[in-house]
Amino acid sequence: MKSSTSLLRLCNRKILSRGFSAGIVQHRHTELNNLETKFEFNAESKKEIDRVLKKYPPQYKKSATIPLLYIAQEQEGSENWLTLAAMNKIAELLEVPPMNVYEVATFYTMFNREPVGKYHIQLCGTTPCMVAGCGKDSIKKVIMDELGIKDGETTEDGMFTLTEVECLGACVNAPMIQVNNKEFYEHLTEESTKKLLDTWKSGGTPKEGNQNHVKTCEGPMGKTSLKGGEPGFPEFLDLDKVIAEKKEADAKKASESS
């Protein structure tokens, strides 16, 4: 049993806690994001939305909430963030209460509900990235020192935003960052992180992926499996086409048997 002195020391010890990576969940009206803000999908986005919705039966089209949020955030002019109006428009398209869309947008760190910098740096802060290599804390310190910002802040010139997020699924190549929900930069060190920042500052585009000599996540023996080349990306199943083909086949079968 611990003595009262040791318990007191424990209570007085400074405990480092991690904040929520998704930021505040409640909406706050701002000059750029309020009930009067307008949002419309452009022609290119509408075409992509039509393609996505074909993946789902009409009665389950609310399952397209995540893809449509991503389309809205990626649309030209959205500047990598979602307004309340954009989320309301998605709810209208999917015929669901707006709250259903808000719940998804506030849960995932891939969706930004406030303006972010041109380069939104999402630093993975979970266990592998915390302990592997130099560790995420060292990477975070380099970013904060080089940019003069803290977690959740944006530089005054609007170039960089830093957000610590949960696992990004590149544990084998930790520590790592993701930029603008797209590019992964892995196997980071303090030196390679500074080099990345310097490249962006100068208007350049750094090499994606591992920032050392390792190719993908291969070990010292090289690639031992999945040697068939790069995987493909199949298109969504066109349900309307499948139903039409099924009806045509049934009609042909019926005519042949009569």
Residue 48 clears pLDDT 60, i.e. is over it: yes
The whole-number pLDDT of residue 183 equals 92
The whole-number pLDDT of residue 229 equals 63
The whole-number pLDDT of residue 149 equals 95
CA distances, 53 to each of 42, 148, 213, 240, 258 (Å): 16, 43, 41, 11, 38
The whole-number pLDDT of residue 122 equals 94
The whole-number pLDDT of residue 34 equals 79
Q: In sequence order, which residues have a C-beta less than 8 Å from that of residue 164 and are 6 or more positions away?
A: 18, 19, 21, 122, 123, 124, 125, 136, 140, 151
The whole-number pLDDT of residue 225 equals 72
Over the chain, what is the mean pLDDT? 84
Residue identified by tokens 């590149």 is 170
pLDDT tens column, 223-257: 777 676 665 655 666 777 888 898 999 998 888 88
pLDDT tens column, 161-212: 999 998 998 888 899 999 998 899 999 999 999 999 999 999 999 999 888 8
DSSP string of 118-180, one letter each residue: SEEEEEE-SHHHHHSTT-HHHHHHHHHHHHT--TT-B-TTS-EEEEEES--S-GGG-S-EEET
- The residue that leads in pLDDT, 64 or 18, is 64
